[in-house]
Structure 1
């Protein structure tokens, strides 16, 4: 379990935290000729080495399997995905990566790592959950609602740059904390508070598409946070 969590955390950090949108676009344009593709693999290799404490003598096979499979899956996605199938290939790609991590972990039926206290199962699980709440959820929501993104008719938009992204991250963190601490009633309060603040925007805009867009984004954000919180609480009891 501990080894898999290390592999998973390295994957999440490499794929979602340390990979910018510019890198993604560069890979989509140049595909296998993109230098960002190889920088991306290099980051994954470095993260794996850190979490394995540079112990390649024992884990060299799993290390190679993860990197080679990651390269194959990423390149395949770049060539196979189309504009309309991007979301599908995003999900397929992530599922394949997770399966590769499971396979690499299964190679080591008996392993005994003397790690620092920071690398306990509970700590790694919490880091993974927080990363899923912040970076991964933001990307998933963007992937799924981009198709409905309404065009802004206001030339001078008074909203802060990337304010929506940070508001979403904060609300998901709050929901996650409420679920993890078993304070479900606070989620209703948070949802009501957001509705009050958003009410002015929705009524002044008189735009049904914008209203529906905001509702979909909000429900996705809260739904993902609740799901991650429930899975975290369940996994915590298994450790």
Structure 2
């Protein structure tokens, strides 16, 4: 019998392989006929049922629990196939919802198979500490609150900037990723990585600014970058000080 932590990793690995690798070879078009969709869903259900039932049998030698676990995962997969494409307008939210349901299902099966459900309160008590909550709060602040603050500071100059040709919401997403990376590097005390990120962004922005040949854009970009870095580094240092 394999260790409990190993079983969880195996279940997650099987999910990733099936959902992102193997399933890419049996995808079906949205315009396919109803009959083909039914066959596709049944085949997917069967594959998930067989794979996860076998994994549980081989790892826990409990046939009664194994087939129930396989049936649960297969049913969850079937429901996500049917519901998520129509329940969410954004493909990103559909993907996140599908993965959340499937991973939660696997974790639940793992907890039940290991009889760890009774100890989950103890696990949460170890996880929910002042330090962890503070770090989580810092990451949340680096998303929309930080964007709102930076946007408010830069608002007086936004009318002078030509945004024609820019990707929709690309700047917002870049800012999210940038601040999350910087905060992570600061908390890990990887200052070289912070410097590398600043250098890489400066090079990319330099080429953009050179093509634009507009001084106002260069100043706006520089202000935004410095505000983003200052806010992320300051938050990281404050969190590191609090959690010591």
TM-score, normalising length: structure 1: 0.48
Greater RCO, 1 or 2 (C-alpha within 8 Å, sep 6+): 1
Structure showing greater Rg: 2
TM-score, normalising length: structure 2: 0.47
